[in-house]
Structure 1
Amino acid sequence: MLTERQRQILKAIVEEYIVHAEPVGSRTVSKREDIGYSAATIRNEMADLEDMGFLEQPHTSAGRIPSHFGYRYYVDYLMGPQRLEREDLLEVRRLFTSQMDALELTIQQTVSILSKITNYTSIILGPEVYHNKLKHLQVIPLNERSAVAIVVSDTGHVDQRRFTVPEGVSLSSIEQLVNLLNAKLSGLPLYRLKRSVYQELYAELNRHVEQYEFLVSVVDQMLAVDVDGRVFTSGTTNMLTQPEFRDLDKVKALMEIFEQTDTVTRLFAANDAGVHVRIGQENSIEAVNNCSIVTATFSVDGRSLGTVGVLGPTRMDYRKVVSLLQVLTDDLSRHLRQLYG
């Protein structure tokens, strides 16, 4: 447990270091309007905060910098919401009030604006399921109890899924079901297929009273489509402007990560709603152990469709990035609902 004075001093040091990227001394902290303590008192508290692992003293400098643990405490307990600059907010609003009906253009513009406003590297991961539409569904029987569903999208993506034919359901019934699905669902985005089945085809499916539950089970298996993630990035060279990355070997290791789609997906994928912050060594890959990653999901109809992420130094402006991602993902979700609702 930190005392209130220690909390104020730690918060001040983190915020000063985020802005200036220089070790923070007691005199600097004492000059802040929100700090009413003498430099000597602050110096003693800084020593205690260092002993507890919240601060570090680089080299022989008299100043301190936050440790990863210090940043974590700041993000979890000290950081309040930040009102975005009016110009930044207007730029986000203009993005989603423009008449962009092409999803890929929307995503590219979003990731570009995010990197521009933050001056960090921005990434958007999104499954092709919200981008592709159903062209054709086909079922190939393997035997009496199993078959393969083949889902073909309008972009040529083909997904195959083996499924079990429930007892009591004939292959002829499945063939009729597939014909019905093709007639009613062709042209719909893949992510809407299941919902459309239940909303629009309930009456027709229910005509097969004795097989209704079994047919629903078949639909669930057939439409459980796996799709590859898509990665959009912007500002990958922004890390070159950060003083922490004057070491070219560090920068090279980071640049190599962005060439590996699987690695980027693993780093930025977020399964839970809300904004998530991973600091330093909380990231699973050594090359980003001196970075922080902030992610937030966007969704349509309650289903998470992708992740917006920002990568920057641990000296990241967390308040600004978190507030920006909250606004941006809300607006992006609303925009996607208008496009595909």
Structure 2
Amino acid sequence: MLSERQRKILNAIVDDYIRSAEPVGSRSISKRGDVAFSPATIRNEMSDLEELGYLEQPHTSAGRIPSHKGYRYYVDHLVKYGTLSSHELNVMKVFFAEKIHEMEQVFQQAATILSGLTNYTSIVLGPEVFSTTLKNLQIIPLDDRTAVAIFVTNTGHVENRIVQIPEGMAVSEVEKAVNILNNRLAQVPLFQLKSKLYNEIGAELSKYVNGYEELILTIENALEDHEEDRIYMSGATNMLMQPEFRDVDKVKLILDTLGEAPAILKMLDTMSEGIQVRIGSENSLAAINNCSLITATYSVDGHCLGTIGILGPTRMEYGKVISLLDYLSKDMALLLARWYK
């Protein structure tokens, strides 16, 4: 347990580092009005905080920066959730006052607003991206080489895709494969269908269906757009503006990850309802282990419909981001409640 003095000094270091992106020294902390300690006292406490794992000393600099453990303590015990500025409130009010005729516009506009107000990357998952499951799959041949694939979800949503039948595959083989797929994929969340196809079902199809590899590829292509239809993102390149990400290879890895729908879903899949904060290595993907991810869920009638997320450096304005997500998620829930009635 940290002493009150250590808490004040850690809080001051995190606040200063968030603003400056430069290691924080004892002298700059002593000049703050809310920290009434001498530079010598602050230096001693900074050394203790470093030993405890809350601070790090980059290179030979006399200043310190927060560690992931330090950020976690800050978020759990010290962060202040301020009220939104008049500009932020006005942007939100204008958004929710607009007459939006398509639900997709709500999610994309929400993502755009969040990235604009925070200068981080925003991700919005449309309704039920994790809970929508496959109810039934049909593949109906139109001629020898083409068919229509029909996907029916547990919510009653129906999607049709024109697909190619592998050359030489008999209709009976297609029917056999569809029976196996329905048996194994029924009630599987849509975002998990691709991995199930390859990791579990491919081996079974190989025993009973000739040309199953091409058929799996055909079905995968038919599913390809479904995940992306529910993911709305804005500000992916904002990472380039952060001093932590001057390393081109590091940024490329993050941007490549943000370009893959399965990776985004994996990144957000383990986040619980309400507001959640994942810092550094707490994230499920190695590519974003130098980032923080803050998410908020939005619900209607107690049913969680989707998730709003902000991805940025660990040197993130946690209080501001959490306040924005809290405000936006609640108002989105009210807005969507009108769509669902």
Coarse TM-score class (shorter-chain normalised) = 0.7 to 0.9
Preserved CA contact (<8 Å) 2:277 2:295: yes
TM-score after normalising by structure 2: 0.72
Q: Is the 8 A contact 1:83 1:323 kept in 2?
A: yes
Q: Where do 1:178-327 residues align within 5 Å?
A: 230-269=230-269, 272-327=272-327
Letter in 2 for 1:107: F
Structure whose alpha-carbon radius of gyration is higher? 1
Residue 68 of structure 2 aligns with an amino acid whose one-letter code is H
Tell me, yes or no, if the aligned pair for 1:270 and 1:297 is still in contact at 8 Å: no
When residues 150 and 73 of structure 1 are mapped into structure 2, their CA distance, relative to the original with a 3 A threshold, is closer
Retained in 1: the 8 A contact 2:152–2:159?
no
* Cα displacement string for residues 159-181 of structure 1 (whole angstroms, at most 9, x for unaligned residues): x9669xxxxxxxxxxxxxxxxxx
Is it true that 1:59 corresponds to 2:59 in the alignment?
yes
Q: Is the 8 A contact 1:293 1:309 kept in 2?
A: yes
For 1:86-125, list aligned pairs within 5 A: 86-125=86-125
SS in 2 for 1:94: helix
Q: Match for residue 34 of structure 1?
A: 34
- In 2: Cα distance, 1:40 partner to 1:284 partner: 40
Task: Mark the CA change 1:283 to 1:138 in structure 2 (over 3 Å): closer, same or farther.
Answer: closer
Per the alignment, residue 69 of structure 1 pairs with 69
SS of residue paired to 2:312? strand
For 2:126, what is the secondary structure of its paired residue? strand
Shift of 1:156: 3.9
Work out whether residues 227 and 261 of structure 2, in 8 Å CA contact, stay in contact via their aligned partners in 1. Answer: no
Taking the aligned partners of 1:271 and 1:126, their CA distance within structure 2 comes to 15
1:222-271 per-residue CA deviation (whole Å, 9 max, x = no partner) reads xxxxx857111100000000000000000100011012111101102355
Once the two structures are TM-superposed, the CA of residue 101 in structure 1 deviates from its matched residue by 2.5
1:26-78: CA deviations, max 9, x gaps?
A: 01101111111111111110011001000000001010000000000000011
Instruction: Describe the shift of the 1:128–1:6 C-alpha distance in structure 2 as closer, same or farther (beyond 3 A).
Output: closer
- Listed as ranges, the matches of 1:131-170 within 5 Å are 153=157, 156=160
Tell me which residue corresponds to 2:3.
3
- In the alignment, is the contact (CA less than 8 A) between 2:17 and 2:65 conserved in 1? yes
Percent of residue pairs bearing the same amino acid type: 52
Q: Which runs of 5+ in 2 are unaligned?
A: 139-150, 162-180, 185-225
Q: TM-score, normalised by structure 1?
A: 0.72
For structure 1, list consecutive stretches of 5 or more residues without a partner in the other structure.
140-148, 164-226
**Cα pair distance change 1:99/1:161, threshold 3 Å:** farther
CA distance in 2, matches of 1:338, 1:29: 50
Name the CA distance, whole Å, in 2 between partners of 1:115 and 1:91.
Answer: 12
For 2:84 and 2:49, how far apart are their aligned partners in 1? 31
Shift of 1:153: 3.1
Secondary structure of the corresponding residue to residue 46 of structure 1: helix
Instruction: Say what the alpha-carbon RMSD is for the aligned residues.
Output: 2.7
3-state SS in 2 of match to 1:315: coil
Q: Measure, in 2, the Cα distance between the counterparts of 1:82 and 1:108.
A: 26
Work out whether residues 126 and 307 of structure 1, in 8 Å CA contact, stay in contact via their aligned partners in 2: yes
SS at match of 1:24: coil
For 2:250, the aligned partner's letter is: K
Given the alignment of the two structures, is residue 43 of structure 1 paired with residue 43 of structure 2, yes or no?
yes
Q: After TM superposition, give the deviation of residue 125 of structure 1 in Å.
A: 1.2
Q: Count residues with an aligned counterpart.
A: 265
Secondary structure at the residue paired with 1:45? helix
Q: Which residue of 2 aligns with 1:78?
A: 78
**Aligned partners of 1:101 and 1:129: how far apart in 2?**
21
